[in-house]
Amino acid sequence: PWWALYPKVEDYFARILSVMTRGREVRDLLVVHPVESAWVLCRRNWIDAKGWRPEISELNQGFSEVRDTLLQNQIDYDYGNEVIMSRHARVIRGAGGPVLKVGKASYRAVVLPPMITLRRSTLNLLRQFRKAGGLVVFAGKPASYLEGRPSNTVEAFVRECRQAVFTGAALVRAVEKDCRRLSIVDGKGHAIPSALYL
């Protein structure tokens, strides 16, 4: 009995599809995902009846704080996987300055949340990006391992980059000039943390 009225629903979805397929996604910020740091910690007895081991909980907490801080301040981003970055990322000269390209996506800034280990390919890419004038922000404790082995190489690079705690206004200030596309604020001009956008 409803088939004659169904175009009302289908026309609505067709219009949305038409609008959504005519543009492209734009995010200026890439957040390197610390999954490889989690792999370093996931070994025998990494979880027990009480839950995750403390170091895994700490890594997860820092990563979650970066996520929440950026989202609640309406700074959209993509996650960067180090394997994909090693295969598909490069630094190019864009119209507005250096750009980190990963496939078809372009980023003007990179944030590294608290991490334990970093790939050498990621570090080399970030050095190249930073040398070209790109923004690299270390949010929280930087990696003390390079490809799973103790190293102070990352620490030396951190001194050349912006640093911020992994939560709160300092992280927002570190990236918003280069990465903010819009703000959703209340009548007093304060960000509305529950208003997320994509």
Parallel, antiparallel or unpaired: strands 145-146 and 149-150 = antiparallel
Express as a percent the part of the chain with pLDDT over 70: 99
- Please give the pLDDT value at position 54: 80
70-80 confidence digits (pLDDT tens):
999 999 999 99
53-73 confidence digits (pLDDT tens):
788 888 889 999 999 999 999
Looking at per-residue confidence, does 161 or 24 come out higher?
161
In the predicted structure, residue 131 carries a pLDDT above the cut 70: yes
- Please give the pLDDT value at position 49: 67
Contact in structure between 98 and 118 (CB atoms under 8 Å) = no
Query: Left if phi > 0, otherwise alpha if psi is -120 to 50, otherwise beta: which for 103?
Result: left
- Count Cβ atoms below 10 Å from residue 86 Cβ, excluding itself: 14
Q: Which long-range CB contacts under 8 A does 93-96 form with residues at least 24 apart?
A: 93/132
- Count Cβ atoms below 10 Å from residue 61 Cβ, excluding itself: 14
CB contact burial 180-197 (16+ within 10 A = b; e otherwise)? eeeeeeeeeeeeeeeeee
135-183 confidence digits (pLDDT tens):
999 998 899 999 989 999 999 899 999 998 878 889 999 999 999 998 8
In the predicted structure, residue 25 carries a pLDDT above the cut 90: no
- Please give the pLDDT value at position 32: 97
- Please give the pLDDT value at position 196: 86
Rg, C-alpha atoms of the chain: 20
Q: Which long-range CB contacts under 8 A does 150-154 form with residues at least 24 apart?
A: 153/123, 154/118, 154/123
In the predicted structure, residue 81 carries a pLDDT above the cut 80: yes
Rounded Cα–Cα distance for residues 124 and 131 (Å) = 10
